[in-house]
Structure 1
Amino acid sequence: MSSDAAARIPPKGVFVPTPTFFHPETKEAGVLQSKLDVDTQIKHSIFLAKAGITGLVLLGSTGEAIHLNRSERFDLVSGVRKGLDDAGFPDYPIMAGVLTNGIDETIEWLQDYARAGAQWGLVLVPGYFGAGASQDNIVEWYNIIAETSPIPILVYNYPGVTNQVLIQPETYIKLAAHPKIVGCKMSHGNVSHHVQVSLDPEIDHDNFRVYSGFGQQLGPIVFFGAAGVIDGMAAFYPKTVVRLMALAEKGEINAETKAEIHRLQFVVSRAEEFVVRYGLIGIKEAVFRVTGLGIQGSGRLPVKGSLSDSEWEKGRSLFLASIEEIEASL
């Protein structure tokens, strides 16, 4: 693979779909919602980079891209890019989420992200019409986007927000054939699909990377050829997930390493139950309580709020106590 091609393909590892940070609400006349907090976004990005996280996904579903306007999306991505550069992380991998269905608007988002400094666009499946989006039409849609986009793209399959549209394993063969479609994120629980696409001999796996949106799938899918995870829980406990990824990538493992992989996968999977239970609000709450970054309860309607002290302690004791101890040791 040439150096140009290598630069075009996202690296293997752990990416974090970062939450978007907002200032406290204000009573300022004409201001309808909390303003974007780019400074805190930069601080959180640097925190993750220093912890060994491979790269970021800005403005994905966790990042509330649908709640930001065009200028805000540009300011956030360009601000993080400059902040990382200034902190000594030049060319740090950044994917930016595209959560819209129209071809023209999708290209507009990608053009903005390219100008802002993102290397890849993570483009959500156009599932507004559900089953009306046939597999063949999805392939044609992505090919048009990829052909026109100034940056390479990844396919983002999240059935939970796209009327349960599920891209089939055989469809990925067609998508991966396009030189500017360089990977996918599968945010669903079908491990078989991850494994099939990661191992399919008809796909050039040097040029098409498979990521799961769930850290609880990391070990099983990476062992069978996947590139890694784009994991929300790693936004607040990154080092444990990074360590698990490093061990899972090893081709040959001894008994001691296998035992550590089992231990880490257990605590990661248990911690992911916190995200399953509390969702985006839980991720933001955990980032605030664990890292001290952000404003408790910040967000934009209809997704804003916080956990009470008692609910936080309940979730922490049930799901996070074990990973908290390991994270502190790394």
Structure 2
Amino acid sequence: MSPHNDAPSPTDSFGAGFHRSFRPSGVPSLITGHLTVGEADSPLSCSYSSNSMDEPAFHMTRPLVPGVYVPTMCFFDEETEEIDLDSIAHHAVRLARAGVTGLATQGSNGEAVHLTHAERRLVTSTTRTALNQAGFSHMPIIVGCGAQSTRETIQYCREAWEAGGDYALVLPPSYYAPLFAPSSETILKFFNMVADSSPIPIIIYNFPGAVGGLDLSSDIILQLARHPNIVGVKLTCGNTGKLNRVAAGARKLPQKHNSGNPQFLVLAGSADFSLQSLVAGGHGILAGLANIAPKACIKTIELYNEGRVEEAQDMQEIVAEGDWTAIQGGVVGVKSGLLGWMGYGGFARSPLPRPTPEQARKWKEGFRELVMLEKSL
């Protein structure tokens, strides 16, 4: 879960919506570990990572449309910390059946920083196969692909495509930020080089809390939005003024496609400002709280779009309170809430701590009103 600043931190045309215009004829396997997706002798393999990647539905056009996108969790065996593929598949299908617009793997909620290249591929391919087998082959998957070097970021994008991902969510590099060229020249070059080489379209991820305070301006985002393979932005900075400027500027960009979908999808990065983002011209959210309460997040946006603003505001209050619990507890708290209310979730990978009984009770209670709302929908 992405904390806000006031919280303690624990070139082709697009034909039918945003899709792969940059698809090389033979994307090489760049996986760095010895494990490949679906290896029968791997402790990480299961039925969800089988030959289904050869099916036509594994790689198909899945447009980005307004709505609720969920950065999914990665689940682990309580004792061994090996990836729990059954829980990953179950969770993905639960969210899809709730009516969300799309899923995202390899984000902060998915503990991407705790996974190897091979494990990242396996989580994404498991999610894709589970969705396909449950009748949700149309649902897009966004894959976190940020890295500190341009080279590895491109590698993650290629591996994401190979694993069934449709879009790459990319943070700007930040480790050597003091050495970057002035006027954001390094950032512009980074995103353009990644977009030029990625087989899947790029979504910019602006999350200052995860990159040492590096905060992309609306001018930089709109400049990057002109690239035909950069198709959206997730704004976790919480700056609704910036969101307004980006959404308004994106509507004036040259046409990338004629599908009727947004030219450049602008998503809020947290559920606690869903309505504010819609008022500012945004298209929805990509928010971790939807792991707990997908229907409540969806209904809040639906009520607003139907003109039932007062009802939407009432629901937003409950969502925002629940989101505050999630923000304070981070991925540890969200997993604890899932375990307390839904019976699964488990723990984060080491070195993240396991919650104490007192913390688990506190987080479960913090989600109570939100879960009651969710169960009523």
TM-score, length-scaled by structure 2: 0.79
Tell me the equivalent position of 1:19: 73
* 1:219 is the counterpart of 2:267: no
Select 2:339's aligned residue among 284, 288, 300. 288
Paired with 2:264 and 2:222, the residues of 1 have a C-alpha distance of: 10
Match for residue 314 of structure 1 among 340, 345, 362: 362
**Aligned with 1:96: secondary structure?**
strand
- Using the TM superposition, give the Cα deviation of residue 165 of structure 1 relative to its aligned residue in structure 2, in angstroms: 0.4
Letter of the 1:328 counterpart: K
User: Which residue of structure 2 lines up, in the alignment, with residue 267 of structure 1?
Assistant: 318
Following TM superposition, by how much is the alpha carbon of 1:327 offset from its aligned partner in structure 2, in angstroms? 1.1
Q: Aligned with 2:129: secondary structure?
A: helix
TM-score, length-scaled by structure 1: 0.90
Residue 322 of structure 1: how far off its partner (Å): 2.5
Do the aligned partners of 1:213 and 1:231 also contact (CA within 8 Å) in 2? yes
* 1:50 counterpart = 2:61: no
Q: Say whether the 8 Å CA contact 1:183–1:208 is kept in structure 2.
A: yes
- Cα shift readout 1:58-103 (whole Å, capped 9, x = no counterpart): 0111111111111111111111111111111113110000131111
Q: Quote the Cα distance in structure 1 between the aligned partners of 2:175 and 2:336.
A: 30
Aligned to 1:30: none
Find the partner of 1:207 among 260, 263, 269: 263
2:195 is the alignment partner of 1:143: no
Cα distance, 1:302 vs structure 2: 2.0
Q: Which residue of 1 aligns with 2:15?
A: 4
C-alpha contact 2:272 2:323 (8 A) present in aligned 1: yes
Distance 1:163 1:68 in 2: 21
Secondary structure of 1:285's partner? helix
1:263 maps to amino acid: D
**Residues in 1 aligned to 2:221 and 2:281: alpha-carbon distance in whole angstroms:** 15
Query: Contact 2:303/2:312 (CA < 8 Å) preserved in 1?
Result: yes
Residues 145, 157 of structure 2: 8 Å contact kept: yes
Q: Which structure: greater helix fraction? A: 1
Question: 2 CA distance for matches of 1:304 and 1:63?
Answer: 16
- 1:59 matches 2:115: no
AA of the residue aligned to 1:321: R
Structure 2 residue aligned with 1:29: none
For residues 24-53 of structure 1, the C-alpha deviation after alignment (integer angstroms, 9 at most, x for no partner) is 223xxxxxxx11111110100000000111
- Per the alignment, in what secondary structure is the counterpart of residue 228 of structure 2? coil
CA contact (8 A) 1:130 1:164 kept: no
Aligned-pair CA distance for 1:279: 1.0
CA distance in 2, matches of 1:292, 1:321: 14
How big is the shift at 1:323? 1.8
CA RMSD, 1 decimal: 1.8
1:188 correspondence with 2:237: yes
* Per-residue Cα deviation, 1:222-276 (whole angstroms, up to 9, x for no partner): 12211111111110111100101222334xx2xxx12211111111111111012
Partner Cα separation in structure 2 for residue 307 and residue 235 of structure 1 = 21
Give CA-to-partner distance per residue, 1:97-153, whole Å, 9 cap, x none.
013111111111111110111100001111122344452221111011001000001
Asked if the contact 1:212–1:230 (Cα under 8 Å) also holds between the matched residues in 2, the reply is yes
| Aligned-partner Cα distance in 2 for 1:206–1:271 | 29
Secondary structure of the 1:6 match is coil
* Structure 2: 5+ residue stretches without partners: 1-12, 20-62, 255-260
8 A Cα contact 1:285 1:307, kept in partner: no
Aligned twin of 1:228? 284
Structure 2 counterpart of 1:98: 145
> Hey, what does 1:239 align to over in structure 2?
295
Aligned to 2:201: 152
1:248 equivalenced with 2:297 (yes/no): no
Change (3 A) 1:157 1:3: closer
Q: Matched residues in 2 for 1:237 and 1:10: separation? A: 22
Q: Distance in 2 between matches of 1:220 and 1:130?
A: 31
Residue equivalent to 2:210: 161
Separation of aligned partners in 2, 1:86 and 1:278: 33
Q: Which amino acid in structure 2 is aligned with residue 322 of structure 1? A: E
Q: In the comparison of the two structures, how many residue pairs are matched?
A: 313
Distance 2:117 2:165 in 1: 15
Q: Give a deviation string over 1:139-187, Cα, whole Å, max 9, x none.
A: 1110110010000010111111111000001111210000110001111
